[in-house]
Every structure is written in C-alpha cells, then in structure tokens.
Structure 1
Amino acid sequence: MSPRPALTRLAIAGAAGALVCAAAVTPATAGVEGGSTGGHRVGGHAPRLYKGVVTARQLLLRSEPNRGGRVIRVALKGDVVTVYCKQTGQRVDGNPWWYRLTDGAWAWGSARHIRDLGPSPRRC
C-alpha cells in the first residue's frame, strides 16, 4: 500500500485545521459594513470595531496592557487605528485604559494617546 493517500489526507487535515485557527482569531464583523462602523449601528447590531487616531508623536504598541509588555510595533501621530475593545491596565498619565488594536497584529495601545473617532470602545 502506498503512503501517498495517507500523506494527502494528512495535508488536507492540516490545511483545514489552519483555516479553523485563522477564523478563530479573526475579529467578528458580522452585520458590519466594510468591517468597521465608526460607531454606527448596522441592522440593529452593536458595532464590533471602533476607530481612533494616535495623538502622541509615536505610540509603542505592546503585547500586554502595560509599559512592560513587549513592543510589537509603533504607531505615529495621526495614524488611524482600529480598536476591538478596551481594558484597564497600567496607568499612563493617570489614564488606566488600554485599547486592543487589530491593525496588522493584535497589540495594546494606551488610550491616553488615542483619541476616539466616534463612541468609546466596549470593554473586552
């Protein structure tokens, strides 16, 4: 018996598993036009993604909602970012809120340096 059919089944199963994992980490945007609502309700559903603009010269986006988290990337002043939700973390200039951003990589940015474009994001 040739090992080829078994390898083919294994490759198909691996590809299917990868698709399931990718779907699990993608933010839900059901009922949202264009993936982001800017705070508008669509079809009676609450918005899933929010927008904000970076107000600091440069904002370090981190792996955790604190200044000790690993830097994942940097956003520059004026960049518009997509926010999934907010959570409390280490205070930055008295502000305890951190935004979970979805731009390219899941990262945390201090809400102290992100101005909401529309309503404030929901809690995580």
Structure 2
Amino acid sequence: MPLCSALTRFAIAGAAGTLAAAAAVTPATASESGRGGTDHQAPRLYKGVVMASQLLLRSAPNRDSKVVRVAFRDDVVTVHCRTTGQQIDGNAQWHLLTDGAWAYGSARYIRDLGPTPRRC
C-alpha cells in the first residue's frame, strides 16, 4: 500500500471522527423546550418597593431571625423569589432579596413592581 494512500485514509478517518463527535455534542446545547435557546438561563429577578419607613431585613423569614440589614421607604429592592414564613399583619409571604447580602423581607411591607415573584 503506498504511503500517500495510507495517509489519505488516516486523514479521512480523522475528519469523519471529528464530524461525528461534533454532531454528538450539538444536540446537548439545544433547548429541550423547543424554543431554540439553552435551558441554563439566569433566573428571572423581580423588583419591589419598600412601603415601611424602616424595614428590617432578616436571615430567615421570621421576626426571630438575625437582622442582616435595613431598607427604607421607597427603596427599590431586587427580589429573587418569595416563600412562606411567619405571618406579619395577616401576610405570611416573605421576599428573598438579593441587594448586597441575601436577606428576607416581609411581603407585607414590599409592593411588587411588575409580576409577583416566583416561589423559592
């Protein structure tokens, strides 16, 4: 077998292997939902505005947990999600905020700007 023929076959086999590997990887990056994007998108963040003159933001969704920081009336806060916690004036919903340190604020004192945050 001539050397040129052996090298040609080797090159063709290598190219075919590369194409097969690329074809095998490509579907893994497509979205399973059929929208054509990737499934690993950043979670949606929501906005809210503080309605209390001074809102203590806490390490857990209850008044017994540690105060992490304070927000003031008309502060716009970024909400990651909402969860259930201690009832405050009849409202058991709490927002997990992402501004600076992660902290919980009672939804009783945070008005949603836009859609209601998703559940945690």
1:81 and 2:77 matched: yes
Distance across 2 between alignment mates of 1:120 and 1:90: 19
Equivalent residue letter for 1:71: V
Against the structure 1 CA distance between its residues 117 and 46, is the aligned structure 2 distance closer, same or farther, given a 3 Å change threshold?
A: farther
Q: Which runs of 5+ in 2 are unaligned?
A: 1-36
Against the structure 1 CA distance between its residues 101 and 120, is the aligned structure 2 distance closer, same or farther, given a 3 Å change threshold?
A: same
Distance across 2 between alignment mates of 1:46 and 1:110: 25
1:111 and 2:107 matched: yes
Aligned residues with identical type, % of pairs? 72
* Residue in 2 that maps onto 1:67: 63
Distance across 2 between alignment mates of 1:47 and 1:102: 12
Larger C-alpha radius of gyration, 1 or 2? Answer: 2
Q: What is the aligned residue count? A: 81
| Residues 22-62 of structure 1 deviation map (CA, whole Å, 9 limit, x = unaligned) | xxxxxxxxxxxxxxxxxxxxx8x796100000000000000
Q: Which runs of 5+ in 1 are unaligned?
A: 1-42
* Residue in 2 that maps onto 1:34: none
Q: What's the C-alpha RMSD, in Å, of the aligned pairs?
A: 1.5
Superposition deviation, residue 113 in structure 1: 0.1
Alignment TM-score, normalising by the size of structure 1 = 0.63
* Residue in 2 that maps onto 1:51: 47
Distance across 2 between alignment mates of 1:47 and 1:78: 25
* Residue in 2 that maps onto 1:95: 91
| Residues 55-103 of structure 1 deviation map (CA, whole Å, 9 limit, x = unaligned) | 0000000000000110000000000000000000000000000000000
